[in-house]
Amino acid sequence: MSTPRSSSPPLRSPEQLHGDPAVSTDAARRTPAPPAGTYLGMPRFQKNAREQLANEQLRKNLRHATGTIRAKRADRVAEVPEWEELRLAGEAIKNRTLRHLDTYLVQLEESLTRAGATVHWARDAAEANRIVVDLVKAKGVDEVVKVKSMATQEIELNEALEEAGVAAWETDLAELIVQLGHDRPSHILVPAIHRNRSEVREIFLREMKQYGTPAPEDITDDPAELAGAARRHLREKFLRAKVAISGANFAVAETGTLVVVESEGNGRMCLTLPETLISVVGIEKVLPTFADLEVFMQLLPRSSTGERMNPYTSMWTGVTPGDGPQEVHVVLVDNGRTNALADPDGRAALRCIRCSACLNICPVYERVGGHAYGSVYPGPIGAVLNPQLRGIEHEIDQSLPYASSLCGACFEVCPVRIPIPDMLVHLRKQVADHKRGPHVESTAIALAGWVLSDHKHLELAERAAALAARALPHTTHLGPLPWPASPWTRARDLPMPPQESFREWWRKNRGEERR
């Protein structure tokens, strides 16, 4: 959905913004429209994957990007002799937090409030969006700048802001590429992983001039030039924005500190320049103490970008007079997380720190990309997290537990040891139970259960089958059976039952040996 044109007067003229009078201010105040439809409107994974497999350029891009990240991660992990101990510590901290999540969330609210922040609670995406939209509209602005945030993508906050007439500018380079390309993210860490440099150059040339400072006409696909074009395009948005929206990688209950890790510095611009900061945080992001960060500050960068430490780690604790935003709001979002928490076999998914290591190692993801999963959480973690957050009522979520070969590589690289293969099997059972009903498969299984439950039932079935075989003595295979068995027998050879069962043969030939 395209953003409605703002009726508010422009803060600056087009000439002041980028020196190009050909670009209208009205257009520069709208964000690019995302693709039509919603994630839940997508078809099941198997159909999506088939379409993505036909895209050879996509597969080439993914193979190169995931291979590069995998190699970097392996090098950095090999430098840490106690890596497995760190994984165990991360798992233990997260498990302890989830066991006492209610206590730590109350403590987090108290710490945030004491530090000068305002805390809001949101049961679902609709409530979270309403809270944020109301906060933004109360400031009288028609645009915001955003730090890369999976939580805001999950609740589709950008679309909600657009419907309210507010332009939401993504400032992360990869997110900017996705937004300008009228696209959807396909990776947790690198949302534009499905694009190569040449494609990015074409997007910048075609789209930047529609929404602000244009890219230079002679720009090449050199990464430094592309980053420079993005920097110039975003700078005027940073400087005039009054409201910023962020997520958080971690939220410390002990101190009320929110933490964002990033690689470019755009997040720090959003967290310091605007007057108002709104942070949308999933309730599972809480950590008990500041000391717990030590473990995750080692696990996360090595697992995600293959770096020893994040180039930028920003922490803020409420409001500091005269420094940074003077109005801070924190929206704590449930949106299905307590449903996952209630499932003893599924709650481990809430340990996820969004590093994307499981995506980069997964042979399925490497071949089909993230769009096939129908969510902002793709790959193995998306296959277990989405059905728990959204339920298994939709076709796309029913198919996701089967989007895996169960090779187990995802567990081996997960920094918090989420048993994704076991959880996929658990979810497959849930999907099967959900679909169970009065249809052919369940009827056939019930009939087989009756036959095998008693030897007399089995003997009766064998005699009936033998009578049918004697009636057709020259037939070796049954052809496709009529409905309702036709879908099963069209793809399988159904042999004729023997004219004499083993039980009868034994009675005739070895009966004297029976005891």
Same domain, 239 and 92: yes
Last residue of a domain, one of 322, 337, 352: 337
Last residue of a domain, one of 303, 337, 371: 337
3: pLDDT strictly greater than 60: no
439: pLDDT strictly greater than 50: yes
| 480 within 8 A of 490, measured Cβ to Cβ | yes
Considering only CA atoms, which of 372, 391, 296, 323 is closest in space to residue 47? Answer: 372
Indicate whether 428 belongs to any domain: no
Same domain, 114 and 255: yes
Q: Which residue has the tokens 């945080």?
A: 281
Q: For residue 183, what is the DSSP state?
A: -
Domain count, the chain: 2
Quote the CA–CA distance of 337 and 322 in Å, as a whole number.
Answer: 36
Question: Comparing 455 with 340, which gets the higher pLDDT?
Answer: 340
**Burial category of 335 from C-beta neighbours within 10 Å (exposed 0-12, middle 13-18, buried 19 and up):** buried
Same domain, 449 and 333: no
| 308 within 8 A of 257, measured Cβ to Cβ | no
Indicate whether 317 belongs to any domain: yes
What average pLDDT does the structure give for the chain?
Answer: 88
pLDDT band at 506 (very low <50, low <70, confident <90, very high): confident
Same domain, 100 and 240: yes
* Distances in whole angstroms, Cα of residue 6 to Cα of each of 3, 176, 304: 8, 21, 38
pLDDT band at 211 (very low <50, low <70, confident <90, very high): very high
Last residue of a domain, one of 337, 364, 387: 337
Quote the CA–CA distance of 508 and 506 in Å, as a whole number.
Answer: 5
Neighbouring residues of 103: CB distance < 8 A, sequence distance ≥ 6 = none
Tens of pLDDT, residues 166-204? 999 999 999 999 999 999 999 998 899 999 999 999 999
Quote the CA–CA distance of 506 and 504 in Å, as a whole number.
Answer: 5
Look at residue 473 in the predicted model and tell me its pLDDT. 73
Tens of pLDDT, residues 15-50? 333 344 334 444 455 688 766 566 766 778 988 888
CATH number at residue 91: 3.40.50.10420
Indicate whether 313 belongs to any domain: yes
Quote the CA–CA distance of 158 and 155 in Å, as a whole number.
Answer: 9
| 273 within 8 A of 64, measured Cβ to Cβ | no
Look at residue 222 in the predicted model and tell me its pLDDT. 96
Percent of the chain having pLDDT more than 90?
68
Indicate whether 422 belongs to any domain: no
Same domain, 73 and 206: yes
CA atoms within 13 A on the CB side of 20: 17
Burial 355-387 (b: 16+ CB within 10 A, else e): bbbbbbbbebbbbbbbbbbbbbbbbbbbbbbbb
Same domain, 146 and 26: yes
Report field, pTM of the whole predicted structure over 0.85: no
| 173 within 8 A of 230, measured Cβ to Cβ | yes
The neighbour count for residue 476, using CB atoms within 10 Å, is 8
Same domain, 333 and 481: no
Paired tokens of 448: 């087989």
Considering only CA atoms, which of 258, 364, 514 is closest in space to residue 45? Answer: 364
Quote the CA–CA distance of 302 and 215 in Å, as a whole number.
Answer: 33
Q: Give the SS3 label for residue 125.
A: helix
Indicate whether 373 belongs to any domain: no
Percent of the chain having pLDDT more than 70?
89
476: pLDDT strictly greater than 90: no
| DSSP string of 394-417, one letter each residue | SHHHHHGGGS-----HHHHH-TT-
Does residue 168 come out as left (phi exceeding 0), alpha (psi in the -120 to 50 range) or beta?
beta
Look at residue 188 in the predicted model and tell me its pLDDT. 92
Indicate whether 307 belongs to any domain: yes
| 136 within 8 A of 144, measured Cβ to Cβ | yes
Neighbouring residues of 177: CB distance < 8 A, sequence distance ≥ 6 = 183, 191, 192, 195, 200, 203
| DSSP string of 262-301, one letter each residue | ESSSHHHHHHHSSSEEEEEEEGGGEES-GGGHHHHHHHHH
Look at residue 446 in the predicted model and tell me its pLDDT. 82
Indicate whether 359 belongs to any domain: no
Of the candidate ranges 92-96, 385-389, 409-413, 438-442, the one whose mean pLDDT is the lowest? 438-442
Considering only CA atoms, which of 82, 73, 63 is closest in space to residue 300? Answer: 73
The CA-CA-CA angle for residues 442, 443, 447, to 5°, reads 115
**Which domain does 29 fall in, by range?**
14-337
